[in-house]
């Protein structure tokens, strides 16, 4: 019965943590434009708060008398309860901040810090209490960590599919407060066992010191590294999958769920996948991803995504199972969890803070993979070949017996270990440069052949960790240094996205790319620079409307490369609202794109306002725009806070009488038409839409040559007559999707819009 009570307590505590994490993220996403980096930064905060909670539990268990611990924790619970329910941030970041990580961390600390920290202390504290008792499982209470991660996993999967679609944010916050009370009750029950139960001898007065020695510094350092690698890799594979492969909503759930599953398996009493099996598969997992990365293979997603996720699973399982295998006596349990938490923070900080400042691409993912390739060096007794590898590094086998190895001996040994990697690195660099002008299919084929050969060489040395690691480093890091910038004439990375401008010489145009999505292009052929490509082509839905609608003053949410400015004539005024300073820099640079410059030269007035559109648009005079265009993208996803009842009310207030709203709803994974239909019906407006499926039409080769992309646009007006007056073609159909729910700032249902 006692074990069930302790297991339930850790289960509930972990579940509360993984419900409040996406809840807090949902409260903050609208303020920062729905950027994916918001989630990465939130994970950093959660792991930092987890570290604080584990540190608190460690101090409590290690330095406070056992029977005083429940009393202190009860006071901490009461203090955290006084800060509930959770409230959204009261302030907004400065629009000029290109990297608002510190603001975001500060808001999370203010609104959630104390309740999260106290809740996060549950798992190590309860396990420490059990470990200090005379229960038969007291000597090894780590199995409760599996119950903790099971609660985390259940809550994580429940939030997007059960909680978010059915409960508004305010209701979620109130129910979380009730859950916190339930946890407090369970902890009081656990504390009663501490107060009135019997303690282990080393926790009683006048007892002899524990026979379990303090873990060595090497062991503690190993724990840190083994915890940091999966943490960084989880965020890295999430960013890679949602940027370079498929920007599918809710895809972030998969790596985090796998991360938790590996913890559950590793800390089970009888793991379903053994430590030896995980370590055996680790080299194959890293090598498989190395091949995909070198060959730049991102399609088909049904094959590529599972491959990356499976590799992450085995790497994380290898690290976590090694952690479980090396766990110390229960006397040092809280120190062990403190180091795990600190390692997680270090891994997340590398992705959330260091990587955006250091790299212009998602380089943190291959770097974490390289670190994973060296994991076998941290293990003990995995393979007997390991000992010989270290001997070869430390001493030349041909050296004179009895003589200490010289620097030359060490240099020779290191060269023997790294020579295959050097050869592979040179080959990869040469092939990357030589194939940059080839067709994509041929380029991928050649790189795949080279990658397969290089991976085969790496796998030959999988029992020699140093040689295997440096070989994989060549395969994974040389493309980061060389291939990622081949063909790019500009590359940058902001808090909001990774930006690349590519010179497509074969088609004579510049492309602006985020991940797998081309957000704008412009021809470099003289006389063709005014023709907008991608979603904005003059024969597409956007061109239909803007060529007929002679606006006076237009508000355009989302700048891109300024393609929509190509429709502006003398005397017209456009105000672009853009959240990302890097996007503004790209659009305003005439060496990259000239849409804004050309519009101004024609006599149009073009202004750019920096900041989130909801916040900056609210500061403009009411009834001042006769057209509002919504074209705000982060990779392939529209920020949901721009499609709520409150957002539409703001747009309507800023429109002059007879004004219209044009929305770019092109999306591969979400059917946003049903959302707009519900919003239009809710505010009593008329709506029509046109879907231009270019890829199914074989008779439009000239448009494809212009860079036109398939798109879907929706036009809204206060009355049907205001739509009919534009005399749009029969391709435009009335938009009426029955049964769709209205999104609000407090309620969003992404699952209901997914194109399954």
Which letter does DSSP use for residue 159 in this model? I
Domain 1-201 has CATH 1.10.3720.10: no
739 phi-psi bin (left φ>0, alpha ψ -120 to 50, beta other): left
| Domain regions of the chain by residue span | 1-201, 517-753
- pLDDT 10s digits, 278-328: 988 998 898 888 888 877 777 777 788 899 999 999 999 999 999 999 888
Which CATH superfamily is 517-753 part of?
Answer: Vaccinia Virus protein VP39 (3.40.50.150)
Q: How high is the pLDDT of residue 244?
A: 66
3-state secondary structure of 585: helix
Residue found under tokens 């050869």? 423
The strand order across the sheet containing 488-493 reads 488-493, 498-504, 509-514, 517-523
Using 70 as the pLDDT threshold, list the residues of the chain that sit under it.
29-37, 89-99, 137, 197-212, 244-249, 379-414, 417, 436-440, 442, 482-487, 515-516, 633-638, 694-701, 756
Q: How high is the pLDDT of residue 439?
A: 66
State the burial class of residue 672 (Cβ atoms within 10 Å of its Cβ: 0-12, 13-18, 19+).
Answer: buried
- Report CA-CA distances (Å) from 312 to 23, 247, 280, 283, 305: 26, 18, 14, 12, 11
Interior/surface letters 2-27, b for 16+ CB within 10 angstroms, e for the rest: eeeebbbbbbbbbbbbbbbbbbbbbb
- pLDDT 10s digits, 30-56: 666 556 667 778 888 888 999 999 999
- Report CA-CA distances (Å) from 620 to 90, 115, 408, 655, 741: 21, 38, 71, 11, 30
At 188, list the tokens.
């009081």
């Amino acid at each position: 019965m006692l074990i069930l009570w302790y297991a339930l307590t850790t289960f509930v505590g972990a579940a509360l943590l993984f419900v409040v994490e996406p809840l807090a993220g949902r409260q903050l996403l609208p303020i920062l434009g729905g950027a994916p980096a918001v989630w990465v930064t939130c994970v950093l905060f959660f792991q930092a708060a987890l570290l604080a909670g584990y540190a608190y539990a460690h101090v409590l268990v290690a330095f406070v008398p056992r029977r005083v611990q429940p009393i202190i924790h009860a006071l901490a619970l009461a203090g955290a309860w006084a800060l509930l329910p959770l409230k959204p941030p009261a302030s907004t970041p400065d629009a000029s901040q290109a990297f608002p990580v510190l603001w975001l961390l500060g808001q999370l600390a203010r609104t959630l810090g104390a309740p999260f920290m106290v809740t996060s202390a549950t798992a190590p504290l309860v396990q420490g209490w059990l470990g200090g008792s005379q229960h038969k499982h007291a000597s090894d209470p780590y199995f409760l960590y599996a119950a903790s991660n099971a609660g985390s996993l259940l809550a994580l999967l429940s939030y997007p599919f059960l909680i978010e679609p059915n409960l508004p944010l305010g209701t979620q916050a109130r129910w979380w407060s009730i859950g916190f009370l339930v946890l407090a009750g369970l902890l009081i029950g656990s504390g009663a066992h501490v107060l009135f139960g019997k303690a282990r001898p080393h926790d009683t007065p006048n007892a002899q010191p524990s026979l379990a020695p303090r873990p060595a510094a090497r062991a503690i350092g190993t724990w840190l590294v083994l915890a940091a690698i999966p943490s960084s890799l989880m965020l890295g594979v999430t960013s890679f999958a949602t940027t370079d492969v498929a920007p599918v909503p809710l895809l972030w759930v998969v790596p985090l769920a796998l991360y938790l599953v590996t913890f559950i398996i590793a800390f089970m009493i009888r793991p379903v996948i053994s430590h030896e099996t995980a370590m055996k598969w680790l080299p194959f997992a890293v090598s498989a991803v190395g091949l995909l990365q070198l060959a730049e293979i991102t399609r088909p997603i049904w094959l590529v995504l599972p491959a990356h996720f499976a590799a992450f699973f085995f790497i994380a399982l290898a690290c976590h199972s090694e952690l479980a295998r090396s766990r110390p006596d229960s006397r040092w349990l809280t120190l062990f969890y403190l180091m795990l938490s600190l390692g997680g923070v270090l891994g997340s900080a590398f992705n959330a803070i260091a990587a955006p400042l250091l790299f212009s691409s998602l380089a943190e993912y291959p770097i974490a993979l390289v670190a994973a390739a060296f994991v076998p060096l941290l293990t003990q007794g995995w393979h007997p070949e390991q000992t010989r590898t270290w001997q070869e590094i430390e001493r030349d086998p041909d050296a004179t017996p009895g003589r200490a190895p010289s620097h030359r001996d060490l240099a020779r040994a290191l060269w023997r270990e790294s020579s295959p990697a050097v050869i592979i690195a040179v080959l990869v660099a040469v092939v990357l440069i030589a194939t940059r002008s080839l067709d994509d299919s041929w380029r991928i084929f050649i790189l795949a052949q080279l990658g397969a050969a290089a991976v085969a060489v790496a796998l030959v040395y999988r029992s020699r960790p140093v040689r295997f690691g440096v070989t994989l480093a060549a395969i994974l890091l040389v493309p980061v240094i060389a291939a990622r910038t081949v063909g790019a004439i500009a590359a940058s990375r902001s808090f909001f996205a990774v930006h690349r401008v590519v010179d497509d010489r074969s088609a004579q145009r510049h492309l602006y790319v985020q991940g797998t999505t081309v957000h704008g292009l412009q021809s470099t052929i003289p006389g063709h620079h005014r023709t907008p490509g991608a979603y904005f082509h003059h024969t597409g839905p956007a061109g239909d409307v803007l060529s007929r609608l002679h606006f006076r003053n237009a508000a355009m949410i989302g700048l891109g490369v300024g393609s929509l400015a190509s429709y502006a004539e003398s005397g017209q005024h456009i105000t672009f609202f853009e959240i990302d300073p890097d996007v503004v820099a790209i659009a305003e640079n005439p060496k990259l794109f000239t849409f804004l410059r050309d519009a101004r030269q024609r006599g149009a007035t073009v202004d750019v306002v920096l900041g989130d559109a909801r916040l900056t648009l609210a500061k403009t005079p009411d009834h001042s725009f006769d057209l509002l265009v919504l074209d705000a993208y982060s990779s392939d996803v529209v920020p949901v806070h721009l499609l709520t009842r409150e957002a539409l009310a703001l747009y309507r207030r800023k429109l002059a009488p007879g004004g219209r709203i044009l929305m770019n709803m092109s999306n591969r994974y979400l059917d946003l038409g049903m959302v707009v239909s519900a919003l239009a019906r809710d505010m009593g407006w008329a709506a029509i839409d046109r879907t231009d499926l270019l890829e199914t039409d074989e008779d439009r080769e000239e448009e494809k040559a212009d860079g036109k992309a398939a798109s879907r646009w929706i036009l809204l007006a206060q009355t049907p007559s205001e739509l009919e007056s534009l005399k749009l073609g029969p391709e435009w159909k009335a938009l009426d999707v029955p049964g769709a729910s209205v999104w609000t700032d407090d309620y969003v249902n992404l699952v209901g819009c997914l194109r399954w």
